[in-house]
Amino acid sequence: MMNEMTSLPHRRLLVELLDTLQTVGYPLGPGKLMQVEELMRQLPPDTPPEALRTLLAPLFASNPEAQRQFYGLFDQCLAAAYKTLVQEEPLPTTLLATPGIEKAETRSRRSLLATLLALTLAAGAAFDGGTPVTWVLLAAVGAAALLAGWKLPLRPVSRWAYLLALPVLTLAGFGLKLWMLAMVTTPIIIDRPPRQTERIPVEQGESATRSLQIPGDTARLIAAAHCNGQNAGTTPSGGRYAIDSSGTLRYTAAAEALPGSTDTLCAEAVYASRRDTALFVIDILATDVPLPAQDKERLAEIPLPFPDSLSAISLDPEVQTRADFYRRYQWLLKALIFLLAAFAVWAFLRWNERRRAKFVAEIEQRDSPPYVWRIETGEEQRLDFEESLSLLLNRLRRREGTDVRRLDVRGTVKASARRAGRATFVFREQTRPPEYLLLIDRFDANDHRARLFDALYEELRRAEVPVERFFYQGDPRVCFNETHPDGLPLTELLHRHRDARLLLIGEGQRLLLPSSGQLAPWTGMFSGWRRRALLLPKPTREWGRREQTLAGLFAVAPASVQGFDLALEQFETLEQRSPAEAMRRVADAVAEPFEFKGSLLGSLRRHFAEPLIRWIAACAVYPALHWDLTLYLGRTLSEPEDDALLRSANLRQLARLPWFVQGTIPENARLQLIEYLAEQGLETRVRRALDELLRSAPAPAKGSVAWDDYRMNVILNELMLQPDAAKRRELEAEFERFLAAGKQPDFVSFKQLQRQPTRLDLLVPENWKKYLFRHGSSRFGLRRLALLLPVWVLLAAGIALVPVKTEVCNGELVSYQNRLLCLDDAAARLLYLDYLTRDAIDAQNHARADSLRREAGIAARAAQPAADTLPYYSNTAAWYYNYGARAYNCSRWPTAQCPALPADSLLNIACRNFRYAQDRDSLNQYMRLALFRCDKGAGPVALVPVVADAPIQKLETNMARITGGSFTMGCKDTTRDGDCDDDEKPPHEVRVRDFYISRYEVTQAQWRAVMGSDPPELHNKGCETCPVERVSWNDIQEFLKKLNTLTGKQYRLPTEAEWEYAARGGAQSRGYLYSGSNTIDEVAWYTENYAKGNTFGEQKTTRPVGGKKPNELGLYDMSGNVYEWVADCWHGNYKEAPKDGTAWLEANGGNCSGRVVRGGSWGINDNSCRVSDRNYDYADNRDYYIGFRLARY
C-alpha cells in the first residue's frame, strides 16, 4: 500500500489538474497539496488515472455545484494529459470536443465549391476533346469531385447517388458532345471492329498450341481454319502454323525470328450456330542478342522520330472542326453553358438556402436553458466600501447573549461559600457570535441596488461574519438564494434563523396594505425575530408617513453602510430611533431623488458628476445592465488621476437611477447616451473593452436560448468595431441567420449599425432596399433575386465575350480512334486506305494488303505532302520507305548519331522486318531496335538498302536470277532466228556471267515510286502496271541513280548480250523465235494483238506487264509491249562485238548518241519482236513505245 505513486500519467495529470484548478480559482493551500500528496502516496500504483476523478473530488469540492464542476475539469485535464502523453492512443470519444457547426459548414461549403469547380472543368474538358491533357484534367477533376462528394454532409443514399451521378453526367456530356458533332456532319467511321485477341508468348524456334474449340463443346465444331482459308502455312516472319480438323492451332516460331517482335495469326472456328474469329498475337520471347537490362528499359523509351499516332498530326484540322462547330452552333453552346452556369448558381443558392434553413431550424429549436445570460466575469469584484466598513465589521463581530443560561459552577461555589454554604446558584448568560440574516429586495437579477448590498454581503462573508443572505422580489414572504433557488417561505426562514438578526433591505411597500397604509397582518411574522431592522433605499428626502408606520415594526435606517451600522447600534442598545433621527445620523445615504427634467443629459448633469455620466453612458452600450459589466466598465473608465469609480458611494449614486434597479436603460436614452459617449471619444474604447469581456466571460452553453442572444450581442458589438471586410461578411452572415430564425437583435446597436453607410447604400436608392435586401438593410445580405442578377449579368457577358474561331473544315470529317479529325481529301483517303490495309493484314490477306499499300503510296505521292509528314499518310508503303531511307541516312536523326551499321546488325534485321511489320506496334518495336543499335554506334558496315516502297520493293523481288552460260548471239540461221536483218550479223559466241534481270518491264508505278513523278510525256497515263514509256535512255540513268541511292543496290540496264541471253531462255533455251514461244500471240503484245480486248478501247498503247506467257526463265514481255533500252551504244553489226557479255560501248565505232533497244513493241510487227531483232533510238529521245527493265549482278 505504501508504494510510490509517481507514475508519469498521474503526475502529468496532477500537474495539469492543479494548474487548472488554480486558474479556475480553487484555493490551493499547502494543506490541500499535502492532502493530495498523501492520498497519492497511499493509492496502489496501478490505480488508473480515471479513478482519481472520484478520489480527488471529495478533497476539492465543497458543494454539489463544485463537485459537478470538478468532474468536468478533471475530464478536461485527463484528456489533455492523455493527449500530451500518449499521442498514438485514441482518446475516449466522450472526451473529445464535438466539432462545431461552423467547422462543418466551412467544410461543406468548400466541398460544394470543389464540386461546382469540378463540374465546370469537366464540362470544359468534355468540350475540349480527348487530348491527354484533357484526360489528366478530367481524372484530377473526377478525383476532386469524388473527394468533395465524400465530404459533403449527405445521407448515405444521397452520397451514393451523387457519386454515381458524376460518371453518368460525364458520360452523358460526352454523348451529348458526340451527338452534337454528328449533327454537324456525319463522319466517316473507319475504326476496325474489335476482335478476340490472345497473346501467346513463344521462344524462338519453339512451338505453341491453342485449341480453337469452346471447351466441352467439341461436337459442335464443324471446321477450323486460318482466316485466309489455308490450314497450314508460313507467317511473314517465318513462323509456321498448322490448324488440324480437331480445331488445334499449332505455331512454330522461326528460328531467326526477331526477339521481341510479334507475329499475328488469325484463326476462324465455325460452329454449328456461329463463327468465331480469334486473333493470336504471338510474342517472340528469346533474345539472341543479349541486351543489358537497362538497355531493355531504354528500348521502350527511345523516342520515335514521329509520333506513331495519326491523330497527332491532325491537331490543327481538329481545332478547325471545333471552330466550325462553334460557328454553326454557337447559340446552342452558349445557351447550354448559360443554362449550366445558371443551374450551378441555382443549385448553390438552393443549397445555401437549405443550409440556412437548417441552421435557422436549429436555432429555433434551441429552447434549453439558460434563457438569460448574466455576464459574470468570474473575477472577484471588490468594491471600495470606504472606512465605514471596518467600523461596521467591528460592530458585527460583537458577541451577543442568548436565552441559554448556564450554571456557573465556579461562581456558584464562590457565591455559596460567600453565603456560608447556602446554595446560591449563579447562572451566566452564554454568549455567541451573532448571526445575521439579510433579506434583500431584488427587482431583477441586474438590480444594482440589490447587488450593491449583495457585494456588501460578500464582503462580510469574506470577513467571516456569520451572515446569511436571501433575496425577495417585493414581497418578503418568499425568499430565495443560490441554495434555495425555488424559494423558502418566510416561516421556514424564521424557523431556521430565529436567532439571527434580521436586516430587511427594500422599500417595504408590500409590508403595508395598499388601501389603508397600515402594516399588513402577516408582517406580524417578523416579530419572531427579536432584532430586526429595515434598511430603506428610498432617498431620505422622500421619507414620510409610510416610513413612520414601518418604524413601528422595524428599526428603520437608510440603506447604506452607515445605515447598516445604525441598525446594528439599535440592536445592541435596543433603542428605537425615529426615522427622522436615522436620517440625520446617516451621512452617506442618498438624499435627493432623481428627477428627469428637460433633456436627458441635462438631468443627468444636474445629479451626477461627469465621470459618472460617462460610466452610465458606457453601460448603455450593452443592451442590458449587468452588475459585473457595470463594475468592469467602471474599472475600464477609471482614469488613474481620477478617483477610482468603483466605490460603493458611486454605485449607490447610480442606483438612484431607476434604470439600474430595473436592469434596462430605455432605448432612446441609450441612443442619446451612446452618442454622448461617441462625442467624448470613448465609444471605441468601451466597445473594445466590452468585446474583450464578452469573449473572456464564460459564455452560456451553446445551444441554449441565452447563447443566441449572447452571440448576437457579440456580433453586433464586433461589427460596430468595424472589422475588416472578410470578418464583417462572416459576422453578418451569422447574424443574418439569427435574424432569420426570428431572434430579436438589440435595436439600438442595430440602428447604429445602419447609421454607417456601406458602399451598396450609396448605389441603391432607399426605396429599392426593401426589395433588394433582407430586413431592408444592405448589411444583412441581399435577397436571393438580387444576388442572382449581377451573377447573371456577369455570366451572360462572359459567355458573349468568348472568342470563337469561325474557320470551317474544308476537307473530310473523319472519326478516327474516337476522335474527329478534319483532314484534307487526300489525307482522308490515305487514312481510309491505311485502315483497309490493316484490316487486310489482320485477315492475312497479304496480296490485298500489298495492292492497297501500293495504292496508298500512289495516293501519298499524288497528295504530295510535306516530306516529314509522309509516313503518316500511309503507314505502309510510304512509312517503310521513309523509315528505310532515314535509317540509311541516319546521320539525319535528330537524336542519334549513327556512323554506320554492321552488315548483319540488328538494324539489318530490323530493316528486313519492316517489311513484315503488321501493325504499328511491331513496326515501332523494329524501329526502336534499329534506332537503338544505331544509337549504340555499332561497327562500320556496308549498308543494306531497304526498298521500302512497295513498287520499289517489287523491283527487287521481281528480279530473276539468271545462271550464266554461252550462247550464239545474233542471227544464226533462219530456222532459229527467222527473217534476219543485217545488223543481227555476224552471229557470234558470247559468254555471260550470272546476273539478275527484272521479270517485268519497269512499270509506271515503279518509275513514279522512284522518281516521284511520271515521265513528263507519258503516253498511256494512269495505267499503273503498264510499262513506263517515253523515258529516254538518259532519263533512265537518272532513275538508276536514284534507285541505287534508295536501295543501296547496283541496278543498271542489262547489256545487249545479257538481254538476248535472257530472252532466249538462257541455259534452258528451247530455241524459240520469240521470247518464250514460236507463236507470237502467246507471249507478246504487238501490232496485231494490242487492241484485242483492250480495256482502253482502240487506243494504241501499252498493256499491263505480265499479260502474256513468260519465257523459259520466267521473264515476261521480253518480246512486245515496249522496246527495252539496254546499256550498249549502237553498232550497225556484230563485227568485233565483245564476247564476255559486257556492254559494247564506243569501242569499234560505236555511236553512243544512239542506244540499242530490243524486244519490239506494241506498235510494231511480229518480225521486230524476234529475240535477235535489234533497233536503236537516240539516248535523249522519249518514245511512247520504249521502256526498260533492270539488271544487276
Partner 1 sequence: MSYYSLEKRQEYLQQQGERQPLPPFAANPRLNAPELYQPSPELADAVNVALRLGLPLLLTGEPGSGKTQLAEHLAWFFNLGETLVFNAQTTSSATDLFYQYDALGHFQHSHNSKEQLLSLEELERRFIRYKGLGEAIRSQQRRLVLIDEIDKAPRDLPNDVLDAMDKLRFYVAEVDKWHTTEPQHRPVIVLTSNSEKNLPDAFLRRVVYFHIEFPDPAKMMEIMGAKVAGLDAGQLRPVVDHFYAIRGERNLKLNKYPATAELIQWAAYLQETGFPTAKLKNPDRLSEEERRALKTSYSVLAKTREDLAALVRRVGGIMNDE
Site for partner 1 in 558-577 (CB under 8 A): none
Classified as helix, coil or strand, 1164 is coil
- The three grid cell numbers given for residue 524, joined into one nine-digit string: 406580524
- What single DSSP character describes residue 1021? T
What's the CA gap between 35 and 29, in Å, rounded? 10
Q: Is 63 in the site for partner 1 (CB under 8 A)?
A: yes
Question: Which of residues 405 and 993 has its CB atom nearest to partner 1 in the complex?
Answer: 405
Residue from the set 7, 11, 20, 67 that interacts with partner 1 by CB under 8 A: 67
Q: Is 664 in the site for partner 1 (CB under 8 A)?
A: no
- Residue 261 CA from chain centroid, whole number: 41
CA angle 546, 550, 551 (to 5 degrees): 115
- What single DSSP character describes residue 87? T
Q: How far is the CB of 62 from partner 1 (least distance, A)?
A: 4
Question: Which of residues 128 and 435 has its CB atom nearest to partner 1 in the complex?
Answer: 435
Exposed (0-12), middle (13-18) or buried (19+): which is 329, by Cβ within 10 Å? middle
- The three grid cell numbers given for residue 451, joined into one nine-digit string: 447587488
Q: How far is the CB of 648 from partner 1 (least distance, A)?
A: 24
DSSP letters spanning 213-234:
SPTT-GGGEEEEEETTS-SEEE
Give the binding-site size for partner 1 (rule: CB under 8 A): 37
Residue holding cell 534506332?
931
Closest by CA to 919, choosing from 847, 840, 830, 858, is: 840
Interface region with partner 1, contact rule CB under 8 A, candidates 56-64, 133-141, 860-868, 1079-1087: 56-64
Q: Is 31 in the site for partner 1 (CB under 8 A)?
A: yes
Q: How far is the CB of 652 from partner 1 (least distance, A)?
A: 27
Burial 41-76 (b: 16+ CB within 10 A, else e): eebeeeeebeebbeebbeebbeeeeeeebbeebbee
Question: Which of residues 397 and 892 has its CB atom nearest to partner 1 in the complex?
Answer: 397
Q: How far is the CB of 715 from partner 1 (least distance, A)?
A: 34
Residue from the set 8, 55, 214, 339 that interacts with partner 1 by CB under 8 A: 55
Residues in Cβ contact with 647 at an 8 Å cutoff, skipping those fewer than 6 apart: 383, 384, 385, 386
Question: CB atoms < 10 A from the CB of 354, how many?
Answer: 10
Q: How far is the CB of 462 from partner 1 (least distance, A)?
A: 9
Pair 1054, 1127: CB distance under 8 Å: yes
* Binding flags for partner 1, 446-475, as an x/- string (CB under 8 A): ------------------x-x-x-------
Question: Which of residues 59 and 793 has its CB atom nearest to partner 1 in the complex?
Answer: 59
Helices and strands per DSSP (H, E), number in the chain: 41, 29
Pair 901, 884: CB distance under 8 Å: no
- What single DSSP character describes residue 1068? G
Rounded to a whole number of angstroms, the distance between the first and last alpha carbons of the chain is 114
Interface region with partner 1, contact rule CB under 8 A, candidates 57-65, 759-767, 1059-1067, 1147-1155: 57-65
Interface region with partner 1, contact rule CB under 8 A, candidates 53-61, 640-648, 706-714, 920-928: 53-61
Q: How far is the CB of 86 from partner 1 (least distance, A)?
A: 24
Q: Is 39 in the site for partner 1 (CB under 8 A)?
A: yes
- What single DSSP character describes residue 704? B
Residue from the set 7, 9, 20, 57 that interacts with partner 1 by CB under 8 A: 57
* Binding flags for partner 1, 11-30, as an x/- string (CB under 8 A): ----------------x-x-
What's the CA gap between 597 and 910, in Å, rounded? 114
Question: Which of residues 350 and 462 has its CB atom nearest to partner 1 in the complex?
Answer: 462
Question: Which of residues 56 and 673 has its CB atom nearest to partner 1 in the complex?
Answer: 56
Q: How far is the CB of 29 from partner 1 (least distance, A)?
A: 7
Question: Which of residues 32 and 327 has its CB atom nearest to partner 1 in the complex?
Answer: 32
Pair 60, 66: CB distance under 8 Å: yes
Q: How far is the CB of 6 from partner 1 (least distance, A)?
A: 17
Q: Is 404 in the site for partner 1 (CB under 8 A)?
A: yes
What's the CA gap between 870 and 872, in Å, rounded? 5
Question: Which of residues 26 and 1007 has its CB atom nearest to partner 1 in the complex?
Answer: 26
One-letter amino acid of 711:
R
Question: Which of residues 58 and 899 has its CB atom nearest to partner 1 in the complex?
Answer: 58
Classified as helix, coil or strand, 1083 is helix
Q: How far is the CB of 466 from partner 1 (least distance, A)?
A: 5
Residue from the set 24, 33, 59, 802 that interacts with partner 1 by CB under 8 A: 59
What's the CA gap between 330 and 83, in Å, rounded? 61
Classified as helix, coil or strand, 283 is strand
List C-alpha distances in Å: 631 to 645, 650, 685.
9, 11, 16
Site for partner 1 in 421-440 (CB under 8 A): 423, 430, 432-433, 435
Question: Which of residues 27 and 72 has its CB atom nearest to partner 1 in the complex?
Answer: 27
* Binding flags for partner 1, 72-111, as an x/- string (CB under 8 A): ----------------------------------------
Q: How far is the CB of 58 from partner 1 (least distance, A)?
A: 4
Question: Which of residues 57 and 644 has its CB atom nearest to partner 1 in the complex?
Answer: 57
What's the CA gap between 1023 and 1008, in Å, rounded? 12
Q: How far is the CB of 59 from partner 1 (least distance, A)?
A: 6
Question: Which of residues 70 and 1033 has its CB atom nearest to partner 1 in the complex?
Answer: 70
Question: Which of residues 470 and 1007 has its CB atom nearest to partner 1 in the complex?
Answer: 470
Q: How far is the CB of 713 from partner 1 (least distance, A)?
A: 30
Question: What length is written for the chain?
Answer: 1193
What's the CA gap between 441 and 308, in Å, rounded? 97
Closest by CA to 462, choosing from 534, 566, 380, 374, is: 380
Question: Which of residues 467 and 511 has its CB atom nearest to partner 1 in the complex?
Answer: 467
Question: Which of residues 14 and 566 has its CB atom nearest to partner 1 in the complex?
Answer: 14
What's the CA gap between 1072 and 339, in Å, rounded? 87
Question: Which of residues 35 and 1089 has its CB atom nearest to partner 1 in the complex?
Answer: 35
What's the CA gap between 1067 and 1060, in Å, rounded? 12
Q: Is 54 in the site for partner 1 (CB under 8 A)?
A: yes
Question: Which of residues 436 and 608 has its CB atom nearest to partner 1 in the complex?
Answer: 436
Interface region with partner 1, contact rule CB under 8 A, candidates 228-236, 403-411, 778-786, 798-806: 403-411
What's the CA gap between 372 and 833, in Å, rounded? 87
Residue from the set 38, 191, 316, 362 that interacts with partner 1 by CB under 8 A: 38
Q: Is 412 in the site for partner 1 (CB under 8 A)?
A: yes
What's the CA gap between 1193 and 1186, in Å, rounded? 23
What's the CA gap between 1134 and 231, in Å, rounded? 56
- The three grid cell numbers given for residue 538, joined into one nine-digit string: 428610498
What's the CA gap between 1190 and 1002, in Å, rounded? 7
Residue from the set 3, 84, 402, 1078 that interacts with partner 1 by CB under 8 A: 402
* Binding flags for partner 1, 496-535, as an x/- string (CB under 8 A): ---x------------------------------------
Q: Is 62 in the site for partner 1 (CB under 8 A)?
A: yes
Interface region with partner 1, contact rule CB under 8 A, candidates 35-43, 354-362, 440-448, 737-745: 35-43
What residues does 384 pair with on adjacent strands? 647
Residues near partner 1 (CB under 8 A) are 27, 29, 31-32, 35, 38-39, 42-43, 51, 54-59, 61-64, 67, 402, 404, 407, 409, 412, 423, 430, 432-433, 435, 464, 466, 468, 482-483, 499
